[in-house]
């Protein structure tokens, strides 16, 4: 073998032997959550409202105010589009816990508990509450960005 072939063989072996870079967590700003959202349990809502522009669905209407360090959420449960309550939750952004699934981009902590967010795209996300063991299992709420939606009177 020539010196050049030995060199190429050595470089190829070194590349193949080097550790593969681990997948990294996608970093997003809490500002992606700013705005109005319609959420449902178990699956992404198909729409924010019916063809007439009126929301007559069961779910949650959420308005989020976000900063670089936290999120304030006004949560209004809806029954056939009618508000049945209102709560305000404040969360601060925290570091991902050890072993948290890589699909989760934002981790939040507040008085009502800890949660994580899987940003699906600019117009939808999944809400994943932390379990008693601080582990993050399955998504429970699915949100679609909405605006200009009317509600039944």
CATH 2.40.128 fits 26-143, yes or no: yes
Is there a contact between 36 and 145 (Cβ–Cβ < 8 Å)?
A: yes
- In a 13 Å sphere around the CA of 9, the CA atoms on its Cβ side amount to 6
Q: Enumerate helices (H) and strands (E) in the chain, giving the number of each.
A: 1, 9
pTM: 0.79
Q: What is the pLDDT along the chain (153 residues), one digit of tens a residue?
A: 554 444 333 434 443 344 444 578 888 899 999 999 999 999 999 999 999 999 999 999 999 999 999 999 999 999 999 999 999 999 999 999 988 999 999 999 999 899 999 999 889 999 999 998 888 988 899 999 998 899 998
| Residue 92, phi then psi, degrees to nearest 5 | -110, 150
């Amino acid at each position: 073998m020539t010196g050049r072939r030995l060199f190429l063989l050595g470089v190829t072996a070194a590349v193949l032997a080097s550790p593969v870079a681990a997948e990294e967590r996608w970093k997003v700003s809490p500002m992606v959550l700013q705005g109005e959202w319609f959420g449902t349990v178990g699956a992404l809502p198909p729409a924010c409202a019916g063809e007439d522009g009126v929301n007559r669905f069961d779910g949650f209407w959420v308005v989020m105010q976000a900063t670089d360090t936290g999120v304030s959420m006004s949560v209004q449960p809806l029954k056939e589009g009618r508000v049945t309550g209102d709560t305000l939750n404040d969360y601060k952004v925290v570091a991902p816990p050890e072993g948290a699934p890589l699909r989760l981009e934002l981790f939040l902590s507040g008085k009502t508990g800890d949660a994580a967010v899987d940003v699906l795209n600019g117009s939808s996300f999944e809400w994943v509450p932390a379990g008693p063991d601080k582990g993050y299992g399955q998504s429970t709420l699915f949100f679609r960005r909405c605006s200009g939606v009317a509600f039944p009177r």
